[in-house]
Amino acid sequence: MTDIIVLITVLALFIAKYKMPESIRWLEKNGKKDEAFQQIQKYFGLEANASVASKPVDIKQKDVPI
Higher pLDDT, 57 or 39: 39
* Cα(4)–Cα(10) distance, integer angstroms: 10
33, 27 contact by CB (below 8 A): yes
Q: What is the percent of the chain with per-residue pLDDT over 90, rounded to a whole number?
A: 20
61, pLDDT greater than 70 = no
Mean pLDDT of 15-43: 86
Whether residue 50 contacts residue 41, with contact meaning beta carbons closer than 8 Å, is answered with no
Q: Count Cβ neighbours within 10 Å for each residue of 37-55 and write b for 16 or more, e otherwise.
A: bebbeeeeeeebeeeeeee
> Hey, which bits of 1-66 come out as E strands?
none
